[in-house]
Amino acid sequence: MNACRSYWFDVPVANRGHWRKACGFPETSRLFIELGCGKGKFAVETAALNPDVCYVALEKDESVILAAIEKAAAAGVKNVFFVCTDVLLLKNYFADSEADRIYINFCDPWSRRNKPKRRLTYRGYLEAYKIILAANGQIHFKTDNSLLFEFSLEEFEAVGLRLVDVTTDLHASPWNDTNIRTEFEAKFAEKGIKIKRAEAHKI
């Protein structure tokens, strides 16, 4: 952790409302957030392709987020930062209208009965995301799970988000040219599982 010191903060809640300044970016810079970054492949590659963006990746598993931090350090990517926390605490870390984009990639589908409220695309979570998203902010969502995808599309519309660029076969779509695959996505693709993708824009 000491070797990767520049990628995390002792008290990240102190950055609430000031992430750009804390990370050394102009206030006009865009702020992207990833919920559940896993081992960091998507976070590191997306940040590398967007060096002018302040990218903050969240992950609740300490051992997993350490692997992500080490990956960023090894790649020399300077504009990605990590917070070890649960999505339930999101409002403690980000102020109203602070973020420009939120990524949700291959979250737990919580397929067991009576568990939909745990899905990261459940309307209760979405309402919280809308608060921290700026005007015209976006949620970018990917999953391999068809039931979760259909559920999520309904939830996006239920909270007043506008659906854009929806596909049930991302890798055969026009958006695949700029798509960055996560670790899970690569494994699913190898098995022939089609990847679903959608954007939900704040109106």
Q: Which residues are catalytic?
A: 108
Please report the beta strands in 60-98, taking only residues with DSSP state E, as ranges in sequence order: 80-84
